Copies of this chain bind each other. A is one copy, B any other.
Amino acid sequence: MGALFIDISRGENVTFAPNYRDLRGATMSRQISRTILLAALVICLVGMAGLTHGHAQFSQPGVQVSNKTLLERLGYPADAKLLIVHADDLGMARSVNAATIKAFESGLVSSGSIMVPCPWLPEIAAYARQHPEADLGLHLTLTSEWTPYRWGPVLSKDRVASLLDSSGYLYLTESEAASRASAQEVEAEIRAQIERARSFGIQPTHLDSHMGTLYKNKTLFEIFLRVARDYKLPVRLSRELVSSTDYLPSILSPSDVAIDRIISIEPNVTAEDWARFYVNSIKGLQPGVTEIVIHLAYDDEEMRAATADHPNWGAAWRQRDLQFFTSGVFRQLLQENNIKLITWREIGKMQYPR
């Protein structure tokens, strides 16, 4: 019973979308969704039983053992609705950079993370240097998923042979990366990505993992967490994710922070239902700290070509995200629902006060 942290006391009913579902491709199946949903339900029920026997969520090792909620620790009242709107994949393509910078300028997208091995890194690094206030983290990258357009590791290929497929690029899928990469080489590569970002003048505010590779198993997540702690950076982590992943509670410490929930749209949402999904998610937003993970780009020639055989998280998908998250509709929804945009910088300052 030791490690169940679903906050069922709030009776939340948000869309189930943990961040390790930030996947692209065939590996993302509805079957998995159903299995996870079922598992979450079972855990939830067991968790309820646990709560009746001694407030399990505060009495066990793991995240947020403080009696204070994350909201309170951030200095907000218990009914505050805080939202990080987070754009992934910066540096991946010009189209991604251009769309995300436009979204930052709208003031409606509060955060983003950068893929250091990708060829458009220098452009977004220049933006980071010119905008030191921007909330930019690193989207630690162990995959290269677009078949016509690919990249390799930051470290010398000889040193990270287990991270490369037969063509010498990073793996196409997170499953291959997670099953074939040596732990030692993963750690060396992600540390090198952070050091390289810093050498480009990027001061990352947080860390997450492209396609969720670093959440795929305990070994990888332990590396991820160790590196994040060393650099005193918060990682993308939600209480839902903690509660639904068997290995997570045992390796988290009281000083680790999980936000309340992460929302990300999935391939089962049709183009027609795109805005409705987001509108409903925002209207139904519960108090606490929520991150909406989005993927921005234009539906242009570069992006269409890169994602030609890969409509999920593809060009049209990304332009739909861009359209919604820079719209007047979204701006009005934030106001009407008393939702305040925050950044990972605030969470980092709380987690690692200086």
Contacts and interface: CB of A to CB of B under 8 A. Distances in A.
A148 interface: yes
Nearest to A159: B158
A147 B167 contact: no
Contacts of A95: 301-302
A87 to B, nearest CB: 18
A148 B90 CA distance: 13
Contacts of A300: 300-302
A120 B148 contact: yes
Top 8 A-B pairs, shortest CB-CB distance:
A123-B148, A156-B158, A156-B157, A302-B302, A156-B156, A94-B305, A94-B302, A119-B119
Contacts of A199: 167
Nearest to A122: B148
A304 to B, nearest CB: 9
Nearest to A157: B156
Interface string A134-173: 0000000000000111111011111100000001100000
A37 interface: no
A93 B301 CA distance: 11
B149 A305 contact: no
Contacts of A97: 305
9 contacts: A94-B306, A95-B302, A98-B305, A119-B150, A120-B149, A122-B150, A122-B167, A152-B152, A158-B158
- Residue of A119, A152, A155, A302 with highest tally of chain B CB at under 10 A: A119
A310 to B, nearest CB: 13
Contact of A122 (B147, B154, B157): B147
B301 A167 contact: no
